[in-house]
């Protein structure tokens, strides 16, 4: 990846970080989904430079191999409704002295809680759907990875999009899905 653009979240007392991250990330996901190819891949990759234990931080970094792709994404316009709560940098060149790379991937905790709850109810007599959801959500809550609270546009279900970071020594060319995450695409860490 040769070019990048940073989005810094500016939470305040009225709008907490997790809410702002959810809204901004959801909008970026929608924009990414609009440009995905037949295989479901996009010309962008996403990182969280302030990723840490239990937090994704306040910064999202969007990468692309082509400057024109970031220009076409036009984040200032697409995220204009958040202009009081975010700062977007200009498009910049990735530094040439990068020594480490990172893979940001989606980590799924045994599939969808709602799908698993339906299966659980069918296998266990006397257990209600609500009880099954509560039981399975306890399992999900034990996962220590940071996440973004999302809402499915297809069924309006809430879910946690867990993000896992893996550090590697060299860049890997891979494809990213509509969340900007990948199991194979290693992007510069700086």
Taking only the tens place, the pLDDT of each residue in 120-154 is: 888 888 889 888 888 877 766 667 899 999 998 88
pLDDT tens digits for 53-112? 899 999 999 999 999 999 999 999 999 999 999 999 999 999 999 999 999 999 987 666
Average pLDDT of span 38-52: 96
What is the model's pTM?
Answer: 0.83
Q: Which of 41-45, 47-51, 92-96, 127-131 has the lowest mean pLDDT?
A: 127-131
Q: Percentages helix, strand, coil for the chain, rounded to the nearest 5?
A: 30, 30, 40
Distance set, CA 158 to CA 73, 107, 153, 170 (Å): 27, 16, 10, 36
CATH classification number, 3-107+145-188, choose in 3.40.50.620, 3.50.30.60, 3.90.1150.10, 3.30.70.2540: 3.30.70.2540
- Residue-wise pLDDT for 176-189, tens only, equals 999 999 999 999 99
The single-letter DSSP state of residue 170 is S
**pLDDT score recorded for residue 141:** 62
Measured from the Cβ of residue 41, the count of other Cβ atoms closer than 10 Å reads 17
- For the chain, the structural domain boundaries read 3-107+145-188, 111-142
Q: What is the pLDDT of residue 139?
A: 67
């Amino acid at each position: 990846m040769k070019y990048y653009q940073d989005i810094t979240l500016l939470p305040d007392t009225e709008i907490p970080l997790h809410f702002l991250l959810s809204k901004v990330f959801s909008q970026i996901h929608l924009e990414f989904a609009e440009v995905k190819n037949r295989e479901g891949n996009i010309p962008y990759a996403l990182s969280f430079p302030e990723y840490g234990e239990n937090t994704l931080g306040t910064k999202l970094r969007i990468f692309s191999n082509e400057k024109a792709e970031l220009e076409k994404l036009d984040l200032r316009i697409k995220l204009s409704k958040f202009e009081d709560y975010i700062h977007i940098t200009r498009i910049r060149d990735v530094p040439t002295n990068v020594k480490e790379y990172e893979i940001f991937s989606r980590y799924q905790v045994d599939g969808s809680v709602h799908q698993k709850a339906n299966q659980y109810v069918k296998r266990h007599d006397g257990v209600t759907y609500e009880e099954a959801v509560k039981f399975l959500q306890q399992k999900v809550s034990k996962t220590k990875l940071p996440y973004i609270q999302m809402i499915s546009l297809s069924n309006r279900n809430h879910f946690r999009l867990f993000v896992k970071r893996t550090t590697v020594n060299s860049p890997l060319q891979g494809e990213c899905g509509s969340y900007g995450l990948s199991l194979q695409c290693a992007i510069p860490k700086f």
